[in-house]
């Protein structure tokens, strides 16, 4: 039953509304890549040759990978996401096509770096890693990361109350696999080099934060199932967040992780 529910929620991401919303998300992926550069000791003039961004969404993670990579291929299960990517990143340095994370096509030149941002919760781990082994070169680096909004906002305990007592009750998390991988979870040929935690802040006003919350998986799953209309969700967010923002800009806290896996 859980696998079926995960599949249903995965399909819920394939809509024009969500794809357009994802394209407007904060580009926190850039901060993640800056952390990757420091952790791996990557110099400013070094670039990987051929990168793969699995579960690329609307392309923000592909754009971030391009900072350290000459060529980037982005794949996503959603046709709508890929359409947005092709519109926004239409040059010779990018290639995008629709594919499941477990079904990346073998390229002419195998990938020497792979990023997977925010998609690991929804995939078949064993099939994914078998596929990654087939499409990457020896000594390739696989960077798995994710980050998300928390119940904290700088200097604003009222937000914490709203998040816990109103938002999560009305929009609970959809089912997903949140198991943290370890070396024992990896097949032969992969080494977990390092795992790191992330914490970031981003400034919103109430309008941009409402737009951001409208494409959270908690909200998406209810809208796409027909439990509640997009109009009603937006009205609820604007009404309940009004006192939280109090006509000011605010900085919610995002937290996440990075896993560094070496393909040997």
Read off the pLDDT of each residue in 201-220 and give the average, rounded to a whole number: 96
pTM of the model: 0.92
d(CA 117, CA 212): 17
Contact 112, 137 (CB under 8 A): yes
Q: What pLDDT is attached to residue 1?
A: 33
- CATH match of 2-151+175-203+253-263 with 3.40.50.150: yes
132 or 15, which is more confident? 132
Give the pLDDT score at 14: 62
| Mean pLDDT, rounded, for 146-152 | 97
Mean pLDDT of the chain: 93
Give the pLDDT mean for 170-183: 91
CA separation for the pair 137, 129 (Å, rounded): 13
Of residues 106, 43, 100, 35, the one with CA closest to residue 64: 35
Give the separation between CA 201 and CA 3, rounded to whole angstroms: 33
| CB within 8 Å of 221: residues ≥ 6 apart | 9, 12, 174
pLDDT digits (tens, 9 = 90+) for 89-117: 999 999 999 999 999 999 999 999 999 99
Q: 90 near 115, Cβ under 8 Å? A: no
Q: What is the mean pLDDT of residues 183-210?
A: 97
Residue extents of the structural domains in the chain: 2-151+175-203+253-263
Residue 167: which of 236, 102, 88, 106 has the closest Cα?
Answer: 236
């Amino acid at each position: 039953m859980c696998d079926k529910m995960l599949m249903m929620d995965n399909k819920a991401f394939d809509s024009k509304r969500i794809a357009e919303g994802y394209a407007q998300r904060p580009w926190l992926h850039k901060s993640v890549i800056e952390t990757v550069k420091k952790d791996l000791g990557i110099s400013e003039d070094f670039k990987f040759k051929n990168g793969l961004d699995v579960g690329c969404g609307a392309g923000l993670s592909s754009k971030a990978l391009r900072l350290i990579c000459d060529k980037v291929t982005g794949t996503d299960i959603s046709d709508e996401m890929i359409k947005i990517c092709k519109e926004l990143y239409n040059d010779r340095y990018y290639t995008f096509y629709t594919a499941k994370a477990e079904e990346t096509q073998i390229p002419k030149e195998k990938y020497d770096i792979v990023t997977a941002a925010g998609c690991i919760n929804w995939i078949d781990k064993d099939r994914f890693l078998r596929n990654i082994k087939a499409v990457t070169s020896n000594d390739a680096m696989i960077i798995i990361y994710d980050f998300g909004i928390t119940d904290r906002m700088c200097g604003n305990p009222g937000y914490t109350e709203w998040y816990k007592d109103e938002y999560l009750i009305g929009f609970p998390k959809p089912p997903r696999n949140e198991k943290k991988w370890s070396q024992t979870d990896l097949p032969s040929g992969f080494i977990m080099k390092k795992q790191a935690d992330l914490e970031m802040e981003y400034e919103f006003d109430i309008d941009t934060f409402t737009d951001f919350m409208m494409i959270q998986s908690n909200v998406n799953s209810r809208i796409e199932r027909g439990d509640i209309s997009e109009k009603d969700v937006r009205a609820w967010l604007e009404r309940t967040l009004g006192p939280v923002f109090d006509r000011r800009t605010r900085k919610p806290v995002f937290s996440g992780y990075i896993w560094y896996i070496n393909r040997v």
